Amino acid sequence: MFNPLTTLSDAQALDQSDPLRPVRDRFLIPDGIAYFDGHSLGPPSRAARQIQDDVVRRQWGEQLIGGWNDAGWIDAPQRAGAKIARLIGAKPNEVIVADSTSVNLFKLLIAASRLSDRPAILSEAGDFHTDRYIAKGVARLTGLRLDLVPRPELEQKVGPDTNILYLSHVHYGTAERHDIAAMTARARDAGALAIWDLCHSAGAVPLQLNQDGVELAVGCGYKYLNGGPGAPAFLYVAEHLQERLSSPLQGWMGHAAPFDFTDDYAPAPGIDRFLAGTPPILSMAALEGGIEAFDGVSMDSVWAKSVGLFETFRSLMADRCPDLVCVSPSDQARRGSHISFRHPNAFEICQALIAVGVMGDFRAPDVIRFGLTPLYLRYEDVWTAVERCADIVDSGGWNRPEFSRRRKVT
Ligand SMILES: Cc1ncc(COP(=O)(O)O)c(C=O)c1O
């Protein structure tokens, strides 16, 4: 059972006994920053810098175009995919890195919907907007209907009309987590396919895609996988479905023989058919370096620390800053790895926190999110965040023109 902390030295004592403490050194984090935005953009890892430097100087610089073969650039999508597979409970040949989450969702929605003539795509209302925009585009292209319902109605809504159920495993705002095994089974029992968006769970919560019967998923590389700004995303297709699906984006990299330059398209065997164009090698290098930060680290140990950070954050905030209301589930099986608070002045408080070195983020209309990233966050950072937040709220320090929403450009 978790014991609430009261002092900075309690937090530092927890850091001393944290088995993941040495892993923080694998990252480049500026001094004086408590970084709670790794659920949006992970920090650079030392390995990312080193691998990217090697790609630019030695591979690209010396081997030039020979790098495609000699440095193994051509295999980067499969190689990075296999590394992600370990973190999400999949086989190495079931994951490939390519494109963005939005594009990968598009590919899977179209590919999967062709397996049946059922008329509807089903999803949750109020989930991350890019998925919904993509699904609306897919609906227009295919003539399918898009049904969006509130979370409590989802299970009951899955039925004979449902062609595809697509869901975010962890909600970007509140961190609520679906039961991935139960919802996948619910879709399967109704004769539908489930597609999961794992953006807020890959590298954050323990996933066992094979064991849980998950057949299709997408996720991004720049959050908990620390792949860098705009890092390529990944796509998972269970082995048994791969030969039955074909990508709607029939690019040469997904061709069975890309260098035969034939007029006809023939999909590559297996997961490779979900590639479209040339992989972005510099970005792939940073992503491979980001994933390397997980070497020797089990997802169970990552999750155990996430739970500790969450409980610490929640109990300190309840004590020191009760005006911010926690909207993330207290049941650890029902949440991801960020903690969100609601406050009418969330935007200004978030800006005031950033100004004093506590970097979380704001999500409209009134939520502050703090990403809990166990590889590099310390209990001391949690203590600092709560103390600074309490100071800002108690003193009204957020109520200054420079923190006002009207000044925000983007
Ligand atoms: C749930 C979810 N899906 C998708 C995305 C973004 O997708 P893309 O990689 O296409 O930018 C995000 C970004 O924050 C997200 O939170």
Residue of 15, 91, 128, 212 marked active site: 128
Q: Is ligand 1 within 6 A of the CB of residue 101?
A: yes
At CA 212, angle to CA 211 and CA 218, rounded to 5?
110
- Position 285 scores a pLDDT of 97
> Does residue 5 have a pLDDT over 80?
no
Q: Residues 114-146, buried b or exposed e (16+ Cβ, 10 A)?
A: eeeebebbbbbeebbeebbebbeebbeebebeb
C-alpha distances (whole Å) from 209 to each of 97, 101, 181, 322, 407 are: 17, 18, 8, 38, 44
Q: Check if 70 is active-site.
A: no
Within the chain, all domains assigned CATH 3.40.640.10 are found at 49-292
Within the chain, all domains assigned CATH 3.90.1150.10 are found at 8-45+298-401
> Does residue 409 have a pLDDT over 50?
no
CA atoms within 13 A on the CB side of 406: 3
Q: What is the mean pLDDT of residues 4-29?
A: 93
Q: Is ligand 1 within 6 A of the CB of residue 100?
A: yes
Measured CA to CA, the distance from residue 14 to residue 4 in angstroms comes to 11
Mutating to test ligand 1, I would choose from 178, 220, 234 the residue with most ligand atoms within 8 A of its C-beta, which is 220
**Which CATH code for domain 8-45+298-401?**
3.90.1150.10
> Does residue 385 have a pLDDT over 90?
yes
Q: What is the mean pLDDT of residues 98-121?
A: 98
Q: Is ligand 1 within 6 A of the CB of residue 132?
A: no
- Position 157 scores a pLDDT of 98
- Position 3 scores a pLDDT of 59
The structure's pTM equals 0.96
Model pLDDT for residues 165-209, shown as the tens digit of each residue: 999 999 999 999 999 999 999 999 999 999 999 999 999 999 999
SS3 43: coil
Residues 6+ apart with CB under 8 A from 318: 326
C-alpha distances (whole Å) from 43 to each of 39, 89, 178, 181 are: 10, 24, 27, 31
At 399, the pLDDT band (50, 70, 90 cuts) reads confident
Model pLDDT for residues 259-317, shown as the tens digit of each residue: 999 999 999 999 999 999 999 999 999 999 999 999 999 999 999 999 999 999 999 99
Q: Is ligand 1 within 6 A of the CB of residue 172?
A: yes
> Does residue 382 have a pLDDT over 70?
yes
SS3 147: strand
Residue identified by tokens 């495609």 is: 68
Q: Is ligand 1 within 6 A of the CB of residue 168?
A: yes
At 1, the pLDDT band (50, 70, 90 cuts) reads very low
**Residue-by-residue DSSP string for 224-273:** TT---TT---EEEE-HHHHTT---SS--GGGBSSGGG--SS--BPSGGGG
Residues 6+ apart with CB under 8 A from 139: 121, 145, 146
- Position 63 scores a pLDDT of 97
Model pLDDT for residues 31-85, shown as the tens digit of each residue: 999 999 999 999 999 999 999 999 999 999 999 999 999 999 999 999 999 999 9
- How far, in Å, is the centroid of ligand 1 from the Cα of 200? 9
How many residues are there in the chain? 410
Tell me which residue has its CA closest to atom 8 in ligand 1: 101
Q: Residues 250-272, buried b or exposed e (16+ Cβ, 10 A)?
A: ebbbbbeebeeeeeeeebbeebb
Q: Check if 161 is active-site.
A: no
What is the layout of strands, in order, in the sheet containing 367-371?
A: 325-326, 338-342, 367-371, 361-363
Phi, then psi, of 82 in degrees rounded to 5: -65, -35
Going by CATH, does the domain composed of 49-292 fall within 3.40.640.10?
A: yes
Q: Is ligand 1 within 6 A of the CB of residue 128?
A: yes
SS3 276: coil
